[in-house]
Amino acid sequence: MVRGWEADPSASLEKRLGKSAKELGTSEGRDECPDIWQLSNGDIAVIGRDLTEHYSDRLPDGVTLGPGERLVVIPGLMLSAAKADITDA
């Protein structure tokens, strides 16, 4: 099966979007997950808590998780802090 988009594992982490978890106070003083990064090819990497099992049986109609996909959750504050770094389409 051919997918319309495929993640490129050779792309490197290039630029943090927003602020680190430590800067936002969501890591108890440690620089740990969660995080949002722009990759060298323009794709976005999100590091968060894997809650796939908690949401898989209650996804809205039309929402699916394909093979190799996981549902991760990050603090809303983190995405809000990244807004200025995310370009418009």
What is the rounded distance in angstroms from the CA atom of residue 27 to the CA atom of residue 38? Answer: 21
pTM for the whole thing?
A: 0.86
Q: Give tens-digit pLDDT for 42-77.
A: 999 999 999 999 999 999 999 999 999 999 999 999
Confidence bin at 80 (pLDDT 50/70/90): very high
- Percent with pLDDT over 90 in the chain: 74
Q: Which two tokens stand for residue 86?
A: 């995310």
pLDDT score of 87? 87
